[in-house]
Amino acid sequence: MENRLRHWRGLRGLTLEQLAAAAGTSHQQILRLERGERRLTLDWMVRLAGPLGVEPRDLLPEAPEALAPMTPPHVTPIRTPRALPQGGLASDLIPVRGAARGGVDQEMFLEDGPIDYTHRPPCLSQVRDAYALYVVGDSMVPRFRPGMLLFVNPHRPPKRESAVVLVKQNAVVLVKEFVEFKEDRVILHQHNPDCFLETLRKEIAAFHCVVGSEEA
């Protein structure tokens, strides 16, 4: 997908490394976005527009009216990004990963890199790679409500009825309750509407355990 990321970076006199540092990502990610090897999602546009001093729509190759199908109205960003704290990520902070609501079956889409930072709760003390995630949609009401912040331990094995974050190979993200592992699949429970879901193990890219939550 073409975009004007390289154009604006050049006008601002920024190197790949400088833009990556300002956006809290790696220069390899910026290079992939510029080359069109990675999709410039709405989350990425919002995240990069600030350091470049432009509006997110300015990163599109043409007038936004001509490219409306590229930014589906049913996908909504949760939060705008915040720059990495000066001096790096403090030990008492964890990244908040970005999510957007999908248009069918209350699916979510998780983007790489942080959109914000929040305090590290006691349940994640010293946990490597810990992160937080905002709840999108109402599929887990009353256990979780939209806008709640979930704390995730990517290394903790789930127990029955543990809340989990499941990331599929196609980038779809599900926040559900773990029921059990079968030989070739995982069984999940959803609250609203109340039902059980099955996902093939070969379709799963990541499976992380939710260890706490708080009102955002």
DSSP letters of 100-158?
A: EE-SSTT-EEEEEEEEEEEE--GGGTT-TT-EEEE--SSTTTTTS-TTPEEEEETTSPP
Q: Name residue 66's amino acid.
A: A
Domain coverage including residue 171: 93-214
Lowest mean pLDDT among 5-14, 58-67, 157-166, 172-181: 58-67
In a domain, 60, yes or no: yes
201 and 128 within one domain: yes
Given a cut of 70, whether residue 24 has pLDDT beyond it is: yes
pLDDT, tens only, 174-193: 889 999 988 889 999 998 88
65 and 98 within one domain: no
149 and 42 within one domain: no
Alpha carbons within 13 A on the beta-carbon side of 32: 12
Query: Which CATH number is 47's domain given?
Result: 1.10.260.40
100 and 41 within one domain: no
102 and 54 within one domain: no
The average pLDDT across 1-19 equals 87
Identify the pLDDT of residue 107: 57
65 and 99 within one domain: no
% of residues, the chain, pLDDT over 90? 19
In a domain, 79, yes or no: no
In a domain, 165, yes or no: yes
In a domain, 77, yes or no: no
Given a cut of 60, whether residue 81 has pLDDT beyond it is: no
> Dihedrals φ, ψ of 131, to 5°?
-155, 170
The Cα 139–Cα 155 span in angstroms is 24
Mean pLDDT for the chain overall: 78
In a domain, 75, yes or no: no
Identify the pLDDT of residue 179: 93
Given a cut of 90, whether residue 101 has pLDDT beyond it is: no
Identify the pLDDT of residue 210: 94
The Cα 117–Cα 124 span in angstroms is 14
101 and 50 within one domain: no
The average pLDDT across 155-172 equals 85
Given a cut of 70, whether residue 90 has pLDDT beyond it is: no
Q: Name residue 13's amino acid.
A: G
Read off the pTM: 0.59
Identify the pLDDT of residue 112: 53
106 and 66 within one domain: no
In a domain, 82, yes or no: no
CA-based torsion, 20, 26, 27, 30: positive or negative:
negative
Number of separate domains in the chain: 2
120 and 45 within one domain: no
Confidence of residue 109 (pLDDT cuts 50, 70, 90): low
Confidence of residue 216 (pLDDT cuts 50, 70, 90): low
The Cα 146–Cα 108 span in angstroms is 12
Query: Which CATH number is 115's domain given?
Result: 2.10.109.10
99 and 156 within one domain: yes
